[in-house]
Structures are given as C-alpha cells and as structure tokens.
Amino acid sequence: MAGGLRRPPAHRNDLLLRLQVGFLASTSAELSNVRFFLSLIVSHCRWSKEEQSAALSTATDSTAQELSEWNAKYREKFGFVFMICASGRTAPEVLAELKRRYANRPIVELEAAAEEELKITELRLAKLFSAETAAPPTSGSSNRTRPPITTHVLDTALGSPAAGIEVHLEMWKDATSPPSFDNKEFKGWTTLGTSITNNDGRSGQLMDNVDNVAPGFYRISFNTSKYAPSGFFPYVSIIFEIKRSQTTEHFHVPLLHSPFSFTTYRGS
C-alpha cells in the first residue's frame, strides 16, 4: 500500500480500543455540530454500500427493489445513504432496520449512522488482523487466541477507558426454562468468571479459552456503582443468547457507560 500503513500494529485490541475512544471523544464533543456528522458519514458512504452487498446478494427481486426505493427515500430525507453494519444480516432484516430508522429525527439518525460506521470499522480491522496473524494451530490446543466472550468498558462522559470496574460473567443453567422477562430467578445463573477492568478498560479472562462455546443464555454484569457512585445505575447487566449455530464465533460485548446512560452492542 504505497504511502500508507503496510501492516497493522501488533496489538489488535489496543488499536480497536483507541479507535473507539477517539470516536466517542470526537462525537461527544461534536454532537451538536451537524456539519461534522454529515462530513463524517458522507465521506464513508461507500462503506455502507459494501456492507449491504452481502445481504443484497441473497435478496429476492422484490426485496432488492424495495431496498433500492427505501435507500432513495432515506437519502432524500437525511442527505446521505443508509449506513448499517450488515454483517450476518439478511436482506429483510436490513430493510426492516432501514424502515425503522427512517422515522428518526435527523440528529438522532446522524448519531445512529456514526455508531454503525464505528461497528463497520471495528469489523474490518478485526478481519485485517485475522488475515495478518492467522497461523496453524498447535496440536491439542484451542484454535482461539482469546476466550469466546470478552468485554471492555468505555466512559462516554470522559471519552476514555473505564478502569477498576468489577465484571461478572454468568450462564443460565436452569434446563427447565430459559430466562425471560417473566422468569428472572437468580438461582438459574451460574458464575463463569469475574475480573476487574484494567487501565485500557478491558476485563481479564472471564471464561475458559475453548473452541466451541456452549450455546445458551449468558449474562455479563458491571458494578458501576463503585466507578460512578453518584450515577443513576448501581449496576448494569446485559443478557444475550448464543445459538447452536454460533458456537465457534466470538462475542465481544462492550459497555459504553456514562452516569445517566449506557449502551452496548455485539462487537468483534
């Protein structure tokens, strides 16, 4: 790559974390600057087209036509193409998300599009590192270089990693019924591991490094009361499901936290 970076830095997680911290710091500072967001999204519109291409390749003629029409309506309303990290999504799922976000106010949609761009960037960097660092596995060892479930915490109010937060990872072990809104009994959860986030906001190992993670329901909890005693949330728990078809995948479940709000997503 003439005049550019020929190979990625050695520490993939460091680069991803710096990307997220830098993104959050810039977007927090520029939240009210619509022109900033427009320049950010419009300059990377081609990424959305590439990310949607996989879903479009399996779309029916009618779905493809409807996607084209809704993309045009979306661009007319917001001034840029629909930005979505479409990895693993079907054409109908992309279309449904497009319709849902079309109803957003422009400032809300600008932020949503910027967050999708961050996911796309993280995914592409992860693929780049995977291609650069792939090596034959040692006989008898796991093919993974890290546990199947990982996390980190970012302080979105400060735009920096959140260090010193206690993290618990649990799995639902009650075989009689899955967890649900009406079935939240604590006795069904079994602790897999605990850790505390380091200066980069990353937790230590929360589970064994295995090739195939057990399918089922998992809960990752963060003791935010010690980190932000005056905040609104004494702790944050995120429950997610790993399906039987996903047991070889990696699940990065970060927490983006501030005293009065939090968000998460499935990263890589």
pTM of the model: 0.48
Structure tokens at 249: 């995948």
pLDDT at residue 20, as a whole number: 53
pLDDT in tens, 180-223: 666 656 677 888 899 898 988 888 888 888 888 899 999 999 99
Q: 3-state class of 93 per DSSP?
A: helix
- CA 119 – CA 47 distance, rounded (Å): 11
Percent of the chain with pLDDT over 70: 65
pLDDT of 18 = 54
Task: Confirm if 84 and 97 have CB atoms less than 8 A apart.
Answer: yes
Q: Quick check: helix, strand or coil at residue 206?
A: coil
CATH 1.10.3330.10 fits 12-133, yes or no: yes
Reported as a pLDDT band with limits 50, 70 and 90, residue 34 is: very low
124 in a known ligand binding site: no
| Residue 252 labeled ligand binder | no
CB 155 within 8 A of CB 163: no
Extract the tokens encoding 39.
């320049």
Tell me the pairing of strands 166-172 and 216-222.
antiparallel
Q: Which residue has the higher pLDDT, 43 or 98?
A: 98
Give me the chain's average pLDDT, please.
Answer: 75
Half-sphere exposure (CA, 13 Å, Cβ side) for 81? 18
Q: How far is CA 171 from CA 11, 149, 161, 194, in A?
A: 29, 11, 26, 12
Domain residue extents for the chain: 12-133, 149-264
CATH code linked to domain 149-264: 2.60.40.180
152 is in an annotated binding site: yes
Instruction: Give the separation between CA 40 and CA 110, rounded to whole angstroms.
Output: 9
Residue 109 has pLDDT above 80, yes or no: yes
- In three-state secondary structure terms, 75 is helix
Going by C-alpha positions, the residue among 11, 245, 13, 250 that lies closest to residue 144 is: 250
Going 113 to 128 to 244 to 201, the CA torsion angle's sign is: negative
Tally of CB atoms within 10 A around 122:
22
pLDDT higher than 50, residue 135 = no
CA atoms within 13 A on the CB side of 199: 0
Q: Are 48 and 78 in contact (CB under 8 A)?
A: no
How many residues are listed for the chain in this entry?
Answer: 268
Question: Hey, what amino acid is at 230?
Answer: S
Task: Tell me the average pLDDT across 140-150.
Answer: 74
143, 211 in Cβ contact below 8 A? yes
